[in-house]
Amino acid sequence: MKKFSILAAVVLAAIMGSCTNGTPKADLKNDIDTLSYAFGIAQTQGLKEYLTMRMDVDTTYIDEFVKGLNEAANAGDNKKKAAYYAGLQIGQQISQQMIKGINYEIFGDDSTQTISLKNFMAGFISGTTGKSALMTIDEASATAQTMMQSVKARVMEEKYGDWKKECEAYMANVAKKDGIKELGDGVYYEVITEGKGDIPADTSRVSVNYEGKLLNDTIFDSSYQRGEPAKFLVKQVIPGWQKALTNMPIGSTWMVYIPQEQAYGERDGGKIPPFSCLIFKIEMLGIE
Sequence spans of domains, the chain: 6-129, 166-287
The answer on pLDDT for 171 being more than 90 is yes
The answer on pLDDT for 139 being more than 80 is yes
| Residues near 67 by beta carbon (within 8 Å), at least 6 away in sequence | 20, 21
**pTM score, whole prediction:** 0.62
* Terminal CA-CA length for the chain: 44
Q: How far, in Å, CA of 158 to CA of 155, rounded?
A: 5
The answer on pLDDT for 276 being more than 90 is yes
Task: Give the burial class of 288: count Cβ atoms within 10 A of its Cβ; 0-12 exposed, 13-18 middle, 19 or more buried.
Answer: exposed
Confidence of residue 22 (pLDDT cuts 50, 70, 90): low
Q: How far, in Å, CA of 118 to CA of 95, rounded?
A: 12
Fold of 166-287: Chitinase A; domain 3 (3.10.50)
Q: Which pLDDT value is given to residue 159?
A: 86
